Amino acid sequence: MNLNKKGWLKEYINIKEKELSESGTLGFDHKGQHPDQSLYAIIQPTGIMYGYPILTTDLIPGDIDQRSKVKLLLMNALLSSYVLIKESKGDRITIFTEVLDEGVHAIAAFYNSLYKELYTSPTSFFGKKKSDYDLLEKILDKRIESKHSNQNFWKNFFHNSLLFLDIYFFRQWVQTPDDNMITEYLKDQKDNIRLDIVKVMAAAAHANSNIEPEERVLFEHFIESLEFQPEKKKEAVDYFESGVEIEEIPLPSEDTWILKKFLFELAILTTWADQKIEESEENFLRELNSRLGFGDPDYEKSIIAVEGFVLEYWNELDKLKDKNDFEIVSNQYLERLSAVTSKYKDRLYKEIMMRGNLIKMIQKAKTGDVKENEKEFIREQLIKCLEEIPVFDVIALPQHFLSLPVIMKILPKDFFKEV
């Protein structure tokens, strides 16, 4: 699949249709969960909430460019959101091609209704109607285009991470696509929510009563990515300079779980701008977590998710400062992972025992006679086993950071003596 050539979207949909038909299900099990939680489980491990793909999917060849990955992951998130909405309404879906085609149509209509800067005529110069697929390919190309491309990691990051808001607004719009009032409401909400994000970042930056240089640089890149009008930009800068009390942060409604999760994880990322979280900042995060209606398990999951991102892209993130606290951050992260693997030791052991080839390779490794490609096989398989643990099945694990020696550190003590 070449995502830079016309026709890639149809090819992607054909692959999705084949997968769904073979499995006989849409693949979204969200019993007992808010639909937003199911969507989070789908999109968070891909990294799109953080602006950069952390984990590739089976649909993404490892050698394609970053821009293509972001485009495909955005499309996949929007389509998954559409399917989840259909499921939540109790619709019985037997012909997968139809619901996927409907999803493509809905996504194209959403962008043409809500984003005037992306509007793409549904007809050609000669008046011929474009297919939904051709129309959406052009729209997505416009959407992911950034004037910051290949210039600055953080400018790219914020441009891409704000694509998450597309997914959030789409979920609201698609339930009343022909309602002009909801379209106008969402247009107003776009700027309001972006200001809410500014308030969260401002509160996080002031959590330790001192704006760190790294936080200021981070904020400047964020403001540039928002492309506010002058008056909105001034309002945003004033929030950041004067600070915002946690009580002043507007609370999204109860049915916007995924938006609250996004706001909280951006707050964590802001406090991580200098690669460390001070006690006052941790207190702020716990208070914000509670104010947003989350419990301690949610806090730990989000911390692990963001720390994993920080470690995966450490070389890029470290451009914000000279001091290197990599060892401190990695040790904190490994302690969290170790606590999880110890808790789910039996589950992890079961996953490993189900992989016969992995068992054979581990046995061979105990003799010390393994080649580099065999070590890599063990590493990849162990990561897949880790991803089956309930906590990690909705959190992206840092693929490059988790070398085999690092994985050995987080497994329960004497674990391999039992294998």
Q: Are 51 and 157 in contact (CB under 8 A)?
A: yes
- Where does 27-118 have alpha helices with state H? 35-43, 66-88, 96-114
The C-alpha R_g of the chain, in whole angstroms, comes to: 22
pLDDT band at 320 (very low <50, low <70, confident <90, very high): very low
Residue 94 confidence (pLDDT) = 63
Task: Give CA–CA dist 394/389, Å, rounded.
Answer: 9
Nearest to 216 by CA among 170, 141, 273, 262: 273
Least confident of 51-55, 172-176, 414-418: 51-55
Burial group, residue 337, by CB count within 10 angstroms (0-12, 13-18, 19+): buried
Q: Which two tokens stand for residue 4?
A: 């830079």
pLDDT in tens, 251-297: 776 668 888 898 898 888 878 766 667 788 889 999 999 999 898 88
pLDDT (0 to 100) of residue 287: 93
Q: Is 266 exposed, middle or buried (0-12, 13-18, 19+ CB in 10 A)?
A: buried
Confidence of residue 322 (pLDDT cuts 50, 70, 90): very low
pLDDT in the model for residue 150: 52
Q: Bridge-partner residues for 331, per DSSP?
A: none
Residue 145 CB neighbours (<10 A): 12
The CB density around residue 221, as the number of other CB atoms within 10 Å, is 19
Tracing tokens 């106008």 back to the chain, one arrives at 184
The token pair at 97 is 């091609």
What per-residue confidence (pLDDT) applies to 328? 76
The rounded mean pLDDT for the chain is 80
pLDDT over 60 (residue 350): yes
Region 26-52 average pLDDT:
68
> Is the pTM of the predicted complex or chain greater than 0.85?
no
| Residue 59, pLDDT score | 58
In percent, the amount of the chain with pLDDT more than 70 equals 83
Q: What span, in angstroms and rounded, lies between the C-alpha atoms of 167 and 144? A: 13
CA 2 from centre of chain = 23
Q: What band does 139 get if pLDDT is binned at 50, 70 and 90?
A: very high
pLDDT digits (tens, 9 = 90+) for 42-91: 777 777 776 666 555 555 555 677 788 888 888 988 998 888 887 776 65
**What pLDDT score does 255 carry?**
65
Contacts of 367 (CB under 8 A, 6+ apart): none
Q: Residue 165 pLDDT > 50, yes or no?
A: yes
> Does pLDDT of 25 surpass 70?
no
**Is 280 in contact with 209 (CB distance < 8 Å)?**
yes
pLDDT of 365 strictly over 50: yes
Handedness of CA 409, 413, 416, 419 (dihedral sign): negative
Q: Are 66 and 74 in contact (CB under 8 A)?
A: no
Calculate the alpha carbon distances from 370 to 373, 375, 376 in Å: 8, 7, 10
The angle, 0 to 180 degrees and rounded to 10, between the axes of the packed helices 230-242 and 180-205 is 30
